[in-house]
Structure 1
């Protein structure tokens, strides 16, 4: 239907002809707007060191291009139908079909916005390079020996607020399509210090738990343990059962970072007393007060050392329990009394996905012992040439252990980590330029799962 015909029908108030003309015009206008959407490689400016990981950027661009192409085909098919068989359809049917297509267009825009938030920060001075360094940290955090499932690309961005969160790979985006990458939101207030690794690797732990299907298998193990528990302990195991998705993410963080993870967690859950002692009541996160106790219990299980008891004593001194209600105090006592057993259950758990290996078996525990980390600190010092070539999670574990031992001041720690993040970003960009341009092998993916977040 031409614009001229539309004008004639408007002038003649011919409603029967006006409706399909307006629908056709709106569909053609949608097609024009769709054509104005451009790939990120044509719209975003950033230094090469700030670029997304190659696999992640490629997956995002291919994902968005496929969405635009599919929508364009649908619009053009609708216009063909409208001038063919659909010409005889009632106006309400023509409108219904167009509205469905327009909603898909809004889904395409929503998907673009999800990734735009990640990509546009790469153009910020300094921030973009740090984010590229965090991408490399995330990639190291998800690494394990002989993974049963190929890990997805991970990308990071900053947001306000005190909590980190993850949109896991293979979870549904607006419109129902599955995300090709995992997107990790990092609080700006954590930049830059060892605490950023605690938040980031906790979120990576959620992706690992999804890939290995840890939560349902751990819940089964907890349920079996509850059956054998004394009546006084049964309620505690019920509590661990309902919060295990967050607990196993904390376990992954401690397994990669040592005490650096628990020290970073302290910063997240250092809240007003009413919030620190608030029971979960349906929230998958444990009570913040108890969460620190569990993190220390995991640390004792992985790396026996007096530092964990000292850290718990300091935490209890900051948040004395004497003015907490008797009910909450009893709940804390039950959970604290089973924390060591729960930590051991998670660490020694052998999910079917690991083929007989325990969770602890795929974590680098030997190099995260306190004495080993402090020895590395003495050897490495602040030598950027050395730090930039070491596994990022190990570097952050060393810095956190040194910070906890009082060997590194916060100012020194921040400066060193800012430099090493930039160095990792530069190395990532060099790796991209050096990689051969070959077609990647097909990836194996875990089943889709829902996204989750850390408060």
Structure 2
């Protein structure tokens, strides 16, 4: 056998091996076991399966074409040319498997009975959080992982190989599954990133910040440069506060309660506002949307936990300026009118009337009289009610845990039966704090 024939034989075997391995990749619906109530929403599952199937079919066709070329006219090509074409196929093969793995972790978790049910319930919350008037929103999938920070792979962003993701994929840290504030604030913040992308919000907000900064005194310029850099995270935080009220800020405090050195450190390359100012801005945005003394009280509490003392002169000036301009940034963001909203403002997207602190407190009073109302409430509103009750000291963490578990389970069940065109009767029990129960 000549060297050229040896190379062709070797690459033929490699091509056959790739085709054989590719044939072993089956749709999730054929090999993932899960409770029906833990399953993905039909639109999300169909979007993922169709996306992965198209990738496998495209790769299978390219492998077949290469195999035919190698045994035909390619038999006379140089070994280097045969190898060059095969390597391109192998790269694409790895991309397809990586795309499969991207969704596998999220879907495999649905096989865990309790975790799967919770995730199905969180999918319902995420869909509610993404709802936008007149705008088509993508399917969304939630999953858990280790670590402190939540994250999102937005729909229509590029996966391995350059293909666009068919769904939003939201990671919630396991340590955040501790109550309504912990769960909802992380989830709604990540959904805020998807909303900002759908509205093309960040570039227009940054442009407005640049325009506004030119009218401010020179000593404020360093602060406004930071606000401009942080605008992506600010937009996501605003979405969370708008939907959840004080629960978003208290949940944020739980995430960024770190050693002081990290809370007060300004990193030049970090797109996130450093924790100390981020909590203050969250309070400022809440006060613009839902004016109430509670926001100033939370800001004072944060300063007691992390007093802005012992700073060098440069940082002290920066901290003071950032703190002074928080309310300006909040009003600018809430009043911003992106083109996608057709002259409506970001504040107009928020259900302001039903989510003021006083109205949320009245909602909670109504729930105590009729617990079934909670299960008929929009998911983001339900979490806002619980978050306000926690802030008011009316709902204890131990009792809240039971309520959140009931809600996530109920939403998972409802979404499952809704997909089947059926319904369930409403439960009649709501867990409350021992003081209120007595």
Question: Normalization by structure 1: what TM-score?
Answer: 0.91
Alignment partners' CA distance in 1, 2:79 and 2:173:
50
Q: Deviations over 1:339-372 (max 9, x none)?
A: 0011000000011111100011111111110000
Matched residue, 2:222? 235
Query: Which of 73, 76, 80 is equivalent to 1:85?
Result: 73
Alignment partners' CA distance in 1, 2:341 and 2:64:
48
Q: Deviations over 1:203-262 (max 9, x none)?
A: 000001011011110111001101100112222211110101100110010000000000
Query: Which of 181, 184, 200 is equivalent to 2:170?
Result: 184
Shift of 1:329: 2.1
- Equivalent position SS for 1:381: helix
Give runs of aligned pairs for residues 176-215 of structure 1, distance below 5 A. Answer: 176-194=162-180, 195-215=182-202
Query: Is it true that 1:170 corresponds to 2:156 in the alignment?
Result: yes
The higher-RCO structure (CA 8 Å, 6+ apart) is 1
Alignment partners' CA distance in 2, 1:117 and 1:389:
31
Matched residue, 1:394? 381
Shift of 1:144: 2.6
Query: Is it true that 1:34 corresponds to 2:22 in the alignment?
Result: yes
Query: Is it true that 1:102 corresponds to 2:83 in the alignment?
Result: no
Alignment partners' CA distance in 2, 1:183 and 1:60:
11
- Equivalent position SS for 2:162: coil
Whether the 8 Å CA contact 1:296–1:308 is kept in 2: the answer is yes
Alignment partners' CA distance in 1, 2:376 and 2:416:
14
Question: Normalization by structure 2: what TM-score?
Answer: 0.94
Whether the 8 Å CA contact 1:250–1:295 is kept in 2: the answer is yes
Whether the 8 Å CA contact 1:382–1:416 is kept in 2: the answer is no
- Equivalent position SS for 1:186: strand
Q: Deviations over 1:131-178 (max 9, x none)?
A: 00000000001113333xx11011100011111000000000001100
Alignment partners' CA distance in 1, 2:115 and 2:239:
26
Whether the 8 Å CA contact 2:179–2:404 is kept in 1: the answer is yes
- Equivalent position SS for 1:126: helix
Alignment partners' CA distance in 1, 2:384 and 2:62:
51
Query: Is it true that 1:259 corresponds to 2:246 in the alignment?
Result: yes
Shift of 1:384: 5.5
CA-based RMSD: 1.2
Alignment partners' CA distance in 1, 2:326 and 2:266:
16
Provide the aligned length of Structure 1 versus Structure 2: 421
Matched residue, 1:156? 142
Shift of 1:383: 5.9
Alignment partners' CA distance in 2, 1:177 and 1:21:
32
Matched residue, 1:414? 401
Matched residue, 1:358? 345
Shift of 1:432: 1.1
- Equivalent position SS for 1:183: strand
Q: Deviations over 1:375-404 (max 9, x none)?
A: 000111396632222100000000000000
Matched residue, 1:289? 276
Shift of 1:324: 2.6
Matched residue, 2:122? 134
Structure 1 pair 90/384, CA: closer, same or farther in 2 (3 Å)? farther
Alignment partners' CA distance in 1, 2:33 and 2:319:
51
Whether the 8 Å CA contact 2:38–2:113 is kept in 1: the answer is no
Query: Is it true that 1:125 corresponds to 2:124 in the alignment?
Result: no
**Relative to structure 2, which stretch is displaced further, 317-326 or 284-293?**
317-326
Alignment partners' CA distance in 1, 2:308 and 2:322:
14
